[in-house]
Amino acid sequence: MAKDVLVTTEWVAAHKDDPNVLLVEVDVDTSAYESGHIQGAIAWNWTTQLNDQVRRDILNPQQWAELLSDSGATPDTLIVLYGDNNNWFAAFAYWQLKLFGHENVKLMDGGRKKWELEGRELVKEVPSRAKTQYPIPNRDLDTSIRARQIDVLNSLNKGNVALVDVRSPQEFTGEVIAPPGMTETAQRGGHIPGAVNVPWGKAVNEDGTFKSEAELKQLYESVGVTPDKEVIAYCRIGERSSHTWFVLRELLGFQNVKNYDGSWTEWGSMVGVPIER
């Protein structure tokens, strides 16, 4: 793999009491943490803590600094993320950490699923960490890993851009607009013209771990997603596409990969943008 961005369940079991490691669980099911979690882990709720509660957007730099301060993190803290559903929202948190310039971050390969399959202990005790003063990021958000709607629109006229729609085939064709139970949806169904459909879950094994480098290369290169291209991944609200962004940039080492976190909820609700079905 291209970067040292994964840790194993064995590593977490050995380091869960390390004061220099902040273990964070981020789940699709926001009640999962309360039912039991890895000892020492805190929880980030993606609905209330990783998204602005007024604007439809991720947190601003000040809000981000407040979250990290409340979590007991410093810029040097190693943050290890894991979650349910093959690290779906853990990858979303990872992408945001990178966006705001926190470099010392990893995912636990296999997430909560692998931990449970191995019969490892889950506890209900919520740890207490001393609050810190995490500095407000003083640089622009890393535009090298985030695409805006205008970036995607402009890319349609370029010949060396690969758009990767990581949603289900049913969402891609417009048969459905969102997965069952998801309330934030677009006004129209379909996909961005020229996009290829590679559902995000194809990148993982049955136990939730990532597939081998060779398997991942074959998965994307077979549909024309190659390292020489500018790649933009999108889904419904940017969380599943964060997972694909992680695979392409962090595991396979693609140099030019962006996550379009406005994704289909934005694109499919705009007037006048092109849509294919």
Nearest one of 83, 67, 134, 116 to 242, comparing CA atoms:
83
Q: How far apart are the C-alpha atoms of 214 and 251, rounded to whole Å?
A: 11
List Cβ neighbours of 4 (8 Å cut-off, separation of 6 or more): 106
Nearest one of 225, 102, 235 to 177, comparing CA atoms:
235
List Cβ neighbours of 193 (8 Å cut-off, separation of 6 or more): 156, 274, 275, 276
Q: How far apart are the C-alpha atoms of 62 and 229, rounded to whole Å?
A: 34
Q: Is 235 a catalytic residue?
A: yes
| 231-259 confidence digits (pLDDT tens) | 999 999 999 999 999 999 999 999 999 99
What fold characterizes domain 6-117? Oxidized Rhodanese; domain 1 (3.40.250)
Q: What's the confidence (pLDDT) of residue 15?
A: 97
Enumerate the H helices of the chain as residue ranges. 9-15, 32-35, 61-70, 84-99, 111-117, 149-155, 169-173, 213-221, 240-245, 263-267
Q: What's the confidence (pLDDT) of residue 138?
A: 77
Where are the domain boundaries for CATH 3.40.250.10 in the chain? Answer: 6-117, 146-267
The active-site residue out of 42, 216, 235, 248 is 235
Question: In CATH terms, is domain 146-267 a member of 3.40.250.10?
Answer: yes
Which has more confidence, 167 or 141? Answer: 167
| 114-137 confidence digits (pLDDT tens) | 999 999 999 999 999 999 999 999
| 1-24 confidence digits (pLDDT tens) | 657 999 999 999 999 999 999 999
The answer to whether 50 and 92 have CB atoms below 8 angstroms apart is yes
| 190-204 confidence digits (pLDDT tens) | 999 999 999 999 999
